[in-house]
């Protein structure tokens, strides 16, 4: 993950989470992405999707700030990280606009804030439409591939 820290002014990270237990991030600067598996959320669990979204933000930040932390403080202060999610409520919670009503969501949010307090970077949280969220596209492609594979297995096992 090499990129010039001098020319880096803004880093955009798209994040998305699925209650099926998958979260993804996409770094627009490096064009890198990652899908992680987390514990799936119980079906119809209240706040389940938000928990997955908040976990995606946590891991998206954690995975992408490490190269930046290796730079000196004067260069680091010039960097702005824009974390984008298609979950408006999650973004509003991180901005402090909306109240966090779930205990696990508060725990993840505290972890994010604790991580951010240790680094001296400007970080903003923004809402992005679903069709512009690259991490969302990555999770959609993965879901389609998984469904195609399962359909093939089911078809193959019943016909042979």
Q: What is the pLDDT of residue 157?
A: 62
Q: What is the pLDDT of residue 119?
A: 81
- Please name the residue that has the structure tokens 């990270």: 13
Q: What are the residue ranges spanned by the domains of the chain?
A: 10-159
The larger pLDDT score, comparing residue 10 to residue 138, is at 138
> Given 3.30.565.60, 3.30.420.10, 3.20.20.140, 3.30.450.20, which CATH number is that of 10-159?
3.30.420.10
Q: Alpha-carbon torsion 61, 67, 70, 75, what sign?
A: negative
**Helix (H) or strand (E) run with residue 57 in it:** helix 48-69
In tens, the pLDDT along 25-70 reads 999 999 999 999 988 776 667 788 889 999 999 999 999 988 777 7
Q: What is the pLDDT of residue 73?
A: 66
pTM of the model: 0.81
């Amino acid at each position: 993950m090499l990129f010039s820290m001098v020319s880096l002014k803004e880093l955009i990270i798209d994040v998305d989470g699925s209650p099926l237990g998958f979260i993804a991030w996409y770094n627009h600067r490096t064009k890198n992405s990652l899908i992680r598996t987390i514990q799936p959320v119980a079906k119809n669990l209240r706040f389940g999707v938000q928990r997955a979204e908040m976990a995606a933000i946590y891991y998206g930040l954690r995975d992408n700030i490490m190269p930046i932390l290796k730079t000196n403080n004067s260069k680091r202060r010039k960097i702005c990280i824009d974390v984008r999610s298609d979950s408006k409520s999650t973004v509003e919670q991180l901005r402090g606009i909306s109240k966090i009503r779930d205990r696990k969501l508060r725990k993840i949010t505290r972890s994010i804030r604790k991580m951010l307090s240790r680094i001296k970077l400007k970080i903003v949280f923004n809402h992005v439409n679903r069709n512009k969220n690259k991490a969302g596209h990555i999770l959609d492609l993965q879901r389609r591939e998984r469904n195609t594979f399962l359909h093939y297995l089911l078809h193959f096992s019943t016909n042979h």
